[in-house]
Each structure stands twice: as structure tokens, then as C-alpha cells.
């Protein structure tokens, strides 16, 4: 196309789209160039190349032209500024819209894996706090990468879950710290490893001591991959010696508050935030 034709084309209004093979192509879409047979040597050199549609224009005869900028052109920025020499005009029949399979894949978005581990004994009153929270969450839709599990008193199972290692593990448990019954705490457990010569703590397959579980997982794995948070609730009572099923009223209320608190934690952790030690 000579300079006079180029100038005439520049004076014509641009189009919003053009239909090619039943597909609407817009500026910004990517196409593969298929110059018609019998074209000049320069056109043939561009055959098969991938380009971005800069504009769709009509010449003085009303014929539609697709103006493209080559993806691998070092001067493509000049072309995108609508300067000659780096913009190429093709008939609509000479370009193929790139299908979804031909488009470059979007970069994978890293997903933070989170394990929410409800722990506790349902026969010891408020010790069942973590189990009840896990039960509530099981009925809610969780974001990708988030798993909720009720470990109850299965300490050995939790040990291996920590070794398998989600990015973050949130232990949910009754946690006596001297506050008012129903108080919630989000704390970072002390994960300082014991001396190498210390014997690994024993884990009862039918009992749950969270710190023993963490220490055992550390001893078996060397270094835990997972970061650990504890969402604890101040209990009112663990029941009499003969046992008691059911949570006290303040701890039942705390379950209602723990669910949105956990959802907030999940959002923060998924966004890459690591909470400081806090109490509420």
C-alpha cells in the first residue's frame, strides 16, 4: 500500500469489529496472518506470524482492512502509536482469529492451601468447641485450597496431617487462658523445636494434646512445612467426672462468632497476610 493510499485510509473512520469466519474480531484481539497466494514477498514472509489487531478500518472504496502489529516486532510499540513502518494492513480473509486453544495460558494464580482442624472431645463439655466449629464450616462453601476436617481426639491422624503440610493449619480448640468464658483467641503456638537429643513426645491415637501433636510432627518431619495458628475459645466447663455432652451457653455463642472470624482469617491468609498474635 503506497503512502497516498495510507493517508486516505487514515482519514476513514475506524470500525469497532469485523466478522471473520463467524467470529467477531475487535481491536486488541490476536490473529494469525494468512496472506493470500500470489501476494508479494514481504506478505509471504509474514505468513503464519501472530499479530495483535490495532484497528479495523475502511479504505476510500469502503473495503475493510485489518491493521495489525506483529507480536514479535521489536518496534511494536511504535506501531501501537499508529506510526507507519510497524503497522500492516490485511484483508479480513487473510487473518485467522486465534481460538482459545491457541491463546497463551494465563499465569497460574498461586493458591494458599489451608487446613482447618477442629479438635476436642465431645464428651467433655466445652472441649467440643473445635468439633462444633468444624461441623458448622462443613455446611459452608469454602474457597479453593481450604479444607475443613474434624479430628476430634485422633491425635495420630492430626500428626500426619501436619506432616503432609498445608501452607497454613488453623487448629480450633478449647483453650483455657484465664479469660471470660466464650472469649476467642487467635494465637501463634510456640513452635521452638526441642533439643535434638530429646525423645519425641508420645501421641495417643485416641487422645488429643495439640502441643504433643505439633512436637511429634516436628520430630518426625524435621521441619514442618505448615504454619500453625490456634483459634481458641475460653471454656466454662469441661463437665463432671462422668462426662457431659453439649456446650455451655457462652461457648455456644462463641461458635457463632468463630465462624465469621475464621472466614476473615481465610481471606487474609489467602491474600498472603500472616496475622500477628492477637486476642479478642
Which superfamily does 114-270 belong to? Answer: HybD-like (3.40.50.1450)
3-state secondary structure of 157: helix
> What is the per-residue pLDDT for 202?
55
> pLDDT under 50 in the chain at which residues?
1-10, 100-101, 103, 105-108, 192-199, 205-206, 276-280
What residues form DSSP beta bridges with 187? 230
Tell me how far apart the 2 most distant CA atoms of the chain are, in Å. Answer: 99
> What is the per-residue pLDDT for 163?
87
Q: How far apart are the first and last CA of the chain?
A: 73
> What would you report as the CA-atom Rg of the chain, rounded to the nearest whole angstrom?
32
Q: Where are the domains of the chain?
A: 3-102, 114-270
Q: What is the pLDDT of residues 166-223, one digit of tens each?
A: 899 999 999 999 999 999 999 887 654 444 444 455 555 446 788 888 888 888 877 7
Helix (H) or strand (E) holding 254: helix 249-270
> What is the per-residue pLDDT for 280?
42
> What is the per-residue pLDDT for 279?
43
> What is the per-residue pLDDT for 126?
95
> What is the per-residue pLDDT for 277?
42
> What is the per-residue pLDDT for 100?
45
Q: 179: closest CA among 238, 250, 277?
A: 250
CATH number for the domain whose boundaries are 3-102: 2.30.30
Whole-model pTM: value is 0.57
Amino acid at each position: 500500500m503506497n503512502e497516498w493510499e495510507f493517508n486516505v485510509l487514515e482519514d476513514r473512520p475506524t470500525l469497532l469489529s469485523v466478522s471473520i469466519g463467524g467470529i467477531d474480531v475487535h481491536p486488541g484481539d490476536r490473529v494469525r496472518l494468512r496472506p493470500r497466494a500470489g501476494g508479494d514477498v514481504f506478505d509471504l514472509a509474514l505468513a503464519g506470524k501472530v499479530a495483535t489487531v490495532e484497528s479495523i478500518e475502511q479504505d476510500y472504496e469502503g473495503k475493510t482492512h485489518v491493521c495489525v502489529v506483529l507480536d514479535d516486532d521489536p518496534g511494536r510499540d511504535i506501531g501501537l502509536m499508529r506510526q507507519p513502518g510497524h503497522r500492516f494492513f490485511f484483508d479480513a480473509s487473510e487473518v485467522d482469529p486465534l481460538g482459545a486453544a491457541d491463546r497463551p495460558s494465563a499465569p497460574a494464580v498461586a493458591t494458599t492451601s489451608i487446613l482447618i482442624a477442629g479438635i476436642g472431645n465431645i464428651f467433655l463439655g466445652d472441649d467440643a468447641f473445635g468439633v462444633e466449629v468444624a461441623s458448622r464450616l462443613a455446611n459452608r462453601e469454602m474457597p479453593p485450597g481450604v479444607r475443613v476436617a474434624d479430628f476430634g481426639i485422633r491425635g495420630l491422624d492430626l500428626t500426619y496431617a501436619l506432616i503432609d503440610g498445608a501452607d497454613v493449619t488453623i487448629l480450633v480448640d478449647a483453650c483455657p487462658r484465664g479469660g471470660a468464658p466464650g472469649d476467642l483467641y487467635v494465637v501463634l503456638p510456640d513452635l521452638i523445636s526441642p533439643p535434638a537429643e530429646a525423645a519425641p513426645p508420645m501421641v495417643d491415637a485416641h487422645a488429643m494434646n495439640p502441643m504433643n501433636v505439633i512436637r511429634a510432627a516436628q520430630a518426625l518431619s524435621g521441619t514442618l512445612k505448615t504454619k500453625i495458628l490456634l483459634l481458641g475459645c475460653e471454656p466454662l466447663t469441661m463437665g463432671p467426672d462422668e462426662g457431659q455432652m453439649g456446650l455451655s451457653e457462652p461457648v455456644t455463642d462463641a461458635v457463632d462468632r468463630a465462624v465469621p472470624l475464621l472466614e476473615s482469617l481465610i481471606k487474609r491468609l489467602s491474600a498472603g497476610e500472616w496475622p500477628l498474635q492477637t486476642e479478642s
